[in-house]
Amino acid sequence: MAQINYRTHLGMNDILPDETGKWQALEQLIHREAKKFNLEEIRTPIMEQTELIVRGVGQLTDIVSKEIFSFSRGDDNYVLRPECTAPVARAFTEHHLEQRGGTQKLYYIGPMFRAERPQKGRLRQFHQFGVEIMGSDDPVADVECIAFMMHIYEKVGITNTKLKINSIGDPESRDKYKEALVSYFEPVRNELSELSQKRLDKNPLRILDSKEEEDQPFIEQAPLIHDYLNEESAGHFNKVKEYLNQLGIDYETDPYLVRGLDYYTRTAFELISPDLGSQDALAGGGRYDLLVEEIGGPETPAVGFAAGIERLLIACDELDIELGEPKSVDVYIVTLGDSARTWGVQALPKLRAAGASATMDYMGRSMKAQMKDANRENALYTIIVGDHELEANSFTFRDMRKSEEEALSFEEILQKVK
Ligand code: HAM
């Protein structure tokens, strides 16, 4: 028995060959559907400057204060990106993407890193796909973003989801709301959870996000953001809801949805699945009209979302949705003897050039073992080759599913696989 000396870090998974098929199928679906929405892919490094993430995501968020993987090398500080909105905003600013003209409609797929306590659906290295629409404050952008998100789940076959939306207002509305929250919570400060007491000083809005039991009765009676939205923010939110209604996208307005990142303004949303257990958010996003300026770029209203790929795959498992095709190979060449092997090595590229996937035994196994291997590899056809077949240019071409055989020349086989 081999001894296992090395393992992956906690919360970081290998994606093994039996699983990569579904990842590839999902990624291809995302690329294909993104084209229909006129989105362009952007790829940013997995490491960023610490300062960008701290300023972008927010010093007091859990992500920055507790969950960052960081290290320094010489004078440089690195963090493994915990999310991709701040990195995309950085790339937008660094490369003056606004100069390309129009609205930048971007998407990405890739790994993110958060040092959270791992559990089902919560990892330290996880993967997101996401969209960032930069340079428009039109509610159409919000709705297109949500529509793309819903569209992907629908294409996958996950339809029993719940979309929650809220508006957390622009800074003017939110400052008024914060004041109202502080006056409401301050008199009951000592009855709140420790975490909420801290949040009361630093970011009272996040109290609404608390999962602590003792906070719930107070949260239920708390003032609602909607009573504090100014005309502009309320109008924007109404337009988003109107477009969603017109598209037939169901949603629930959730006044307590505040999201765990600091950059949001106005629209915020989350997509929830009943199939995920306690980590029930499939995806989340919202508007972040001030982030690009905050990190030094031009005034750029923007909206986006990100979706957890592992959580999407958990939901697929729960719903018995198979992504991708089962592993298979079109042709497996079964060889008997040295000349047949030499022939096989040369036949492989010809089969592939004809458009088939093709393989043969690499271990010098017996014919019986090769047939067994062809079955294990889920080969659709086998070509059985020995000295006799070579001489006659007539090979046994076996349809493995039908268990039928015919004698064909190699040219005829190539025609067939084409
Ligand atoms: P987020 O809500 O932090 O938003 O993450 C989005 C999604 O990533 C979550 O709904 C969840 O599915 C997945 N996710 C987050 N953390 C983990 C984890 N530890 N393990 C597994 N999956 C996880 C953002 O990241 C924002 N950047 C979204 C956004 C884009 N807002 C505007 N543009």
Sequence spans of domains, the chain: 17-170+230-318, 329-417
**pLDDT tens digits for 25-67?**
999 999 999 999 999 999 999 999 999 999 999 887 889 989 9
Q: Which of 92, 107, 126 to mutate to test the pocket of ligand 1 (most atoms within 8 A of CB)?
A: 126
Q: Please identify, by atom number, the ligand 1 atom nearest to the C-alpha of residue 270.
A: 10
The reported pLDDT for the residue numbered 210 is 86
Cβ 209 under 6 angstroms from ligand 1 = no
Is domain 17-170+230-318 annotated with CATH 3.30.930.10?
A: yes
Q: What percentage of the chain has pLDDT greater than the value 90? A: 91
Q: Please identify, by atom number, the ligand 1 atom nearest to the C-alpha of residue 281.
A: 10
Distance separating alpha carbons of residues 110 and 372, to the nearest angstrom:
38
Residue 284 banded pLDDT, cuts 50, 70, 90: very high
The reported pLDDT for the residue numbered 253 is 97
Residue 400 banded pLDDT, cuts 50, 70, 90: very high
Cβ 58 under 6 angstroms from ligand 1 = no
Q: What is the mean pLDDT of residues 201-211?
A: 88
The reported pLDDT for the residue numbered 275 is 86
The answer on pLDDT for 267 being more than 80 is: yes
Distance separating alpha carbons of residues 109 and 112, to the nearest angstrom:
10
Coil, helix or strand at residue 329: strand
Q: What is the mean pLDDT of residues 105-134?
A: 97
**pLDDT tens digits for 140-163?**
999 999 999 999 999 999 999 999
Cβ 215 under 6 angstroms from ligand 1 = no
Dihedral-angle region of residue 329 (phi above 0 means left; psi in -120 to 50 means alpha; beta otherwise): beta
Domain at 329-417, CATH class: alpha beta
Coil, helix or strand at residue 87: helix
Cα–Cα distances in angstroms (integers) from residue 397 to residues 157, 355, 356, 383, in the given order: 38, 17, 14, 5
The reported pLDDT for the residue numbered 202 is 87
Strands 395-399 and 404-408 turn out to be antiparallel
Ligand 1 center to residue 9 CA distance, Å?
20
Cβ 308 under 6 angstroms from ligand 1 = yes
**pLDDT tens digits for 308-345?**
999 999 999 999 999 999 999 999 999 999 999 999 99
